């Protein structure tokens, strides 16, 4: 059984924990409480299987605290990660400025492919759903960007997350198949 490690990273108060709980169908959190270090959620998704054999997959979602005081822990969090989801609050201009730092640190320095990364512009309830005006500079504009609004359209982000999990599992399966072939030849 394949087990994938996915990191949720991004600035403080961007909605990482709320999204992590929603997407893993964990408990709801009603009041804001900053994540201290990391919170690990283990889950399976019946819609995601490994290749065509129908083998189940397990996921570890690492909900990482966005405070810079945890920066010394980041290398340990990143170890053996298969994917990175960068979450930001699209209504806070400083979050947009921070995006490149998160991308550089968690994706580029870890030699992950852009396909292993997804951006989520999280819209908090009542913030309005302005999807049109979000322009990102290179290299962020090459990444998959999804808007999430759990109040107006929760299923859209769930479907996009399942697609993302499938792509992570596919790349893990392909790399495992290549390893097996190289052993046999």
CATH number for the domain including 162?
A: 3.40.50.300
Rounded Cα distance, 48 and 55, in Å = 9
- pTM of this prediction exceeds 0.85: yes
Task: Give the tens place of pLDDT for each residue, 80-133.
Answer: 999 999 999 988 888 988 999 999 999 999 999 999 999 999 988 777 655 556
Q: Quick one: CA dihedral 157, 159, 161, 164, positive or negative?
A: negative
C-alpha closest to that of 119 among 91, 84, 86, 159: 86
Joined tokens for residue 67? 């405070």
Rounded Cα distance, 70 and 93, in Å = 22
Do residues 8 and 78 make contact, with C-beta atoms less than 8 angstroms apart? no
- Residue numbers of the domain that contains 106: 2-184
Number of structural domains in the chain: 1
C-alpha closest to that of 13 among 113, 88, 118: 88
pLDDT, averaged in runs of 10, over the chain (185 residues): 92 93 79 85 82 75 93 93 95 88 94 94 75 77 92 91 94 87 87
Do residues 44 and 57 make contact, with C-beta atoms less than 8 angstroms apart? yes
Pairing of strands 144-148, 117-122: parallel
Cβ partners under 8 Å of residue 52, min gap 6:
none
């Amino acid at each position: 059984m394949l087990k994938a490690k996915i990191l949720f990273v991004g600035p403080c108060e961007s909605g990482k924990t709320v999204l992590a709980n929603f997407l893993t169908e964990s408990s709801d959190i009603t009041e804001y409480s900053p994540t201290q270090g990391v919170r690990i959620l283990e889950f399976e998704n019946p819609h995601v299987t490994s290749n065509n054999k129908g083998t189940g997959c397990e996921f570890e979602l690492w909900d990482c605290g966005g405070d810079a005081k945890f920066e010394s822990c980041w290398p340990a969090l990143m170890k053996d990660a298969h994917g990175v989801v960068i979450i930001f609050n699209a209504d806070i201009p400083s979050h947009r400025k921070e995006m490149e730092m998160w991308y550089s640190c968690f994706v580029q320095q870890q030699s992950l492919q852009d396909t292993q990364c997804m951006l989520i512009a999280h819209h908090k309830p009542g913030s309005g759903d302005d999807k049109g005006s979000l322009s990102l500079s290179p290299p962020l504009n090459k990444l998959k960007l999804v808007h999430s609004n759990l109040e107006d359209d929760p299923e859209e982000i769930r479907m996009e997350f399942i697609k993302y999990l499938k792509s992570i599992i596919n790349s893990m399966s392909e790399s495992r198949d290549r390893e097996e072939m190289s052993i046999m030849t």
